[in-house]
């Protein structure tokens, strides 16, 4: 009998459109001989499944089930493809933990922690050879005095971004003091990002992104991707508009850099108690080649051109084989732990 997989997409943030695209790609690459796939769209208004004929069915939130033609459908596993709230910040993870349903991402505690960039940096401080850009965390009560706080603690240029956002939405690179206030306003006003802002000093260097995963209790690192953009930084447009960014997979880095990167990202994975597949973004600083942490993404994008599928292919695997291994390991781990 085929396993029933709920593929979750959408969400409550401005990343919903990216989530839909990721879920479409995952759906195309799941093994239909082994799994029945139900793509569930999550929105603030409703949680819905639409079948191939166009009929829609609401999720029963008491047990996360569907009733189709009088028959209850219960799921064996949740494949999480919601970027942002409530799929990446621990809210749905806590719900599924209470229901006893396995899901393909970090647990509720790790998810909520890593969604907060400032708290994540605090936890990671102290990992050997890991550098963290000097930063300031701003809360709602800091709005009025934010420019003076920033100028007293940091040197320009700086990055200003929502502390709990993704896809670089609401993020700005600021090079002049006169632009700080507008950048702060943009970051604070980005929806569903927790009303906190992180401001970091700019690190000049080569930018990379790398997938890290643990299957069969072994942490493995995918080939890294180097990101080269003509924009001021790797913002939303650079990420999702074709032609604005050059992505090199596998990245052209030397053996020492590869070994150091792999050691650091494995330490990050362990220290944050991650599960399944994550993505870590970082810089190699110009002049020093120091490894500077940018952020961790616990539900990385999975479109055909996203970093992770590129890296899966560069590792000599197919997405279908990788997703199958991911699902089977999640189910095995859940059975073992429970």
What is residue 237's predicted lDDT score, i.e. its pLDDT? Answer: 47
Average pLDDT over residues 112-134: 95
Q: Is the pLDDT of residue 333 over 60?
A: yes
Q: How confident is the model at residue 13 (pLDDT cuts 50, 70, 90)?
A: confident
Task: Give the model's confidence band at 192: pLDDT under 50 very low, under 70 low, under 90 confident, else very high.
Answer: low
User: Which of the pair, 96 or 305, is modelled with greater confidence?
Assistant: 96
Omega before 157 within 30 of 0, i.e. cis: yes
For 98, the token pair is 């209470």
Predicted confidence band of residue 177 (pLDDT cuts 50, 70, 90): confident
- Residue 37, CA atoms < 13 Å, CB-side half-sphere: 23
Residues in CB range of 288: below 8 A, 6 or more apart: none
Q: What is the mean pLDDT of residues 55-69?
A: 96
Under the banding of pLDDT at 50, 70 and 90, the label for residue 194 is low
pLDDT of residue 168: 66
Q: Which architecture, in CATH terms, is 3-105? A: 3-Layer(aba) Sandwich (3.40)
- pLDDT digits 0-9 by tens, 126-166: 999 999 999 999 988 888 888 888 998 989 999 898 887 65
HSE of 110 in the Cβ direction (CA atoms, 13 Å)? Answer: 19
Q: pTM, whole model, 2 decimals?
A: 0.90
Over 50: is that where the pLDDT of 224 sits? yes
Structure tokens at 116: 């907060």
Averaged pLDDT for residues 301-308: 92
Q: Report how far residue 112's alpha carbon sits from residue 89's, in angstroms, rounded to the nearest whole number.
A: 4
Structural domain spans, the chain: 3-105, 134-201
pLDDT(193) > 80: no
What pLDDT is recorded for position 240? 47
Sequence-ordered list of residues with C-beta below 8 angstroms from that of 138, at least 6 positions apart, any chain: 146, 149, 163, 184, 188, 196, 197, 198, 199
For residue 302, name the pLDDT band (cuts at 50, 70, 90). Answer: very high
Please give the CATH topology (third level) of the domain spanning 134-201.
Dna Ligase; domain 1 (3.30.1490)
**Tokens 């890593």 belong to which residue?**
114
Q: For residue 233, how far is the Cα from the chain centroid? A: 18
Q: What percent of the chain has pLDDT over 90?
A: 73
pLDDT digits (tens, 9 = 90+) for 225-264: 999 976 554 444 444 455 567 899 999 999 999 999 999 9
Tell me the mean pLDDT in the region 31-58: 96
Q: Mind listing the pLDDT tens digit for each residue in 311-330?
A: 999 999 999 999 999 999 99
pLDDT recorded at residue 42: 97
In the chain, what's the furthest Cα-to-Cα distance?
66
| Partner residues linked to 60 by β-bridges | 65
What was the pLDDT predicted at 208?
97
Neighbours of 124 (CB within 10 A): 18
Residue-wise DSSP of 243-281? TSEEEESS----HHHHHHHHHHHHHHHHHTT--SEEEEE
- Return the pLDDT at 243: 58
Question: In sequence order, which residues have a C-beta less than 8 Å from that of residue 172 and are 6 or more positions away?
Answer: 159, 160, 161, 179, 182, 183, 186, 187
The pLDDT value given to residue 233: 47
Average model confidence (pLDDT) across the chain: 91
58-62, 115-119, 162-166: which range is least confident on average? Answer: 162-166
CA angle 91, 92, 93 (to 5 degrees): 90
């Amino acid at each position: 009998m085929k396993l029933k997989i709920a593929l979750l997409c959408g969400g409550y943030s401005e990343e919903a459109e990216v989530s839909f695209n990721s879920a479409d790609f995952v759906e195309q690459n799941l093994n239909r001989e082994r799994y029945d796939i139900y793509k569930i769209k999550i929105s603030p208004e409703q949680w819905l499944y639409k079948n191939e004929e166009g009929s829609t069915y609401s999720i029963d939130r008491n047990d996360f089930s569907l009733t189709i033609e009088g028959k209850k459908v219960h799921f064996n596993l949740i494949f999480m493809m919601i970027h942002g709230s409530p799929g990446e910040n621990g809210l749905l993870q806590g719900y599924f933990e209470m229901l006893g349903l396995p899901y393909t991402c970090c647990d509720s505690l790790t998810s909520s922690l890593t969604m907060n960039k400032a708290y994540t940096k605090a936890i990671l401080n102290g990992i050997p050879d890991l550098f963290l850009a000097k930063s300031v965390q701003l809360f709602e009560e800091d709005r009025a005095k934010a420019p003076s706080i920033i100028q007293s603690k940091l040197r320009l240029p700086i990055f200003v971004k929502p502390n709990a956002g993704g896809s670089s939405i609401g993020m700005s690179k600021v090079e002049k003091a006169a632009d700080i206030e507008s950048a702060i306003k943009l970051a604070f006003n980005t929806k569903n990002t927790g009303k906190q802002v992180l401001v970091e000093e700019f690190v000049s260097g080569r930018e990379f992104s790398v997938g890290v995963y643990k299957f069969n209790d072994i942490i493995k690192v995918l080939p890294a991707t180097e990101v080269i953009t003509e924009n001021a930084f790797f913002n939303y447009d650079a990420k999702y508009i074709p032609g604005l960014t050059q992505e090199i997979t596998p990245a052209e880095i030397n053996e020492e850099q590869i070994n150091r990167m792999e050691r650091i990202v494995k330490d990050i994975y362990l220290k944050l108690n991650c599960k399944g597949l994550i993505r870590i973004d970082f810089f190699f600083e110009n002049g020093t080649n120091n490894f500077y942490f940018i952020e961790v993404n616990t539900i990385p994008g999975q479109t055909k051109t996203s970093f992770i599928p590129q890296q899966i292919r560069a590792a000599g695997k197919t997405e279908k084989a990788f997703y199958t291994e991911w699902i089977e390991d999640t189910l095995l781990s859940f059975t073992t732990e429970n």
